[in-house]
Amino acid sequence: MLETMVDQLFPISELITPNIPEAEKLTGIGIETDSDLKRAAEILFDTGARNVLIKGGHLKGEQSKDMLFCKNGGNTDTYVFASARIDTKNTHGTGCTYSSSIASYLAHDCDLESAVKFAKQYVKGAIEDGAAYKTGSGHGPLNHFFNVWNR
């Protein structure tokens, strides 16, 4: 299944959005630094991916830093989207929410860099607002309605 995804879906996708563990599995390299992120993106470009957003929530540090890599002719444009790490277990669904938000902003005619920026802000708000909730014993959900509910 992984081979099918890489061979058939990556080349026709506008953007792929692996997190660190997914990017490590796809590339076969360990990712701990910005240089590792860039190297992983270059390997992913070799699969036919046009644009690569590696989500950095699994990296250690005070910030959650995502890096968007866009092929621009023979060059690679790199954009960094960082935010303070939020101390919460309520992170279930962040990746799906992020990629869906990016797709929504693209559908509203945002350029890719802006779509990622706005989606990152939305996910950050949903994590922050959902941090106070206690649901079950594992990773809880985000509050997807943080920006429309008045409490």
Options 76, 88, 95, 125, the catalytic residue: 95
Is 91 annotated in the active site? Answer: yes
Q: Which of 17, 55, 70, 120 is the catalytic position?
A: 55
Active-site residue, from 17, 56, 70, 91: 91
110 part of the active site: no
Task: Let me know if 94 is a catalytic residue.
Answer: yes
List the catalytic residue out of 25, 30, 78, 96.
96
138 is catalytic: no
Instruction: Look up 93 and say whether it is catalytic.
Output: yes
**Sign of the alpha-carbon dihedral angle for 132, 138, 139, 145:** negative
Burial tier of 6 (Cβ tally within 10 Å: 0-12, 13-18, 19+): middle
Helix ranges, the chain (H): 2-4, 20-27, 34-45, 94-107, 112-130
- Establish whether 4 is a catalytic residue: no
What residues act catalytically? 55, 91, 93-96
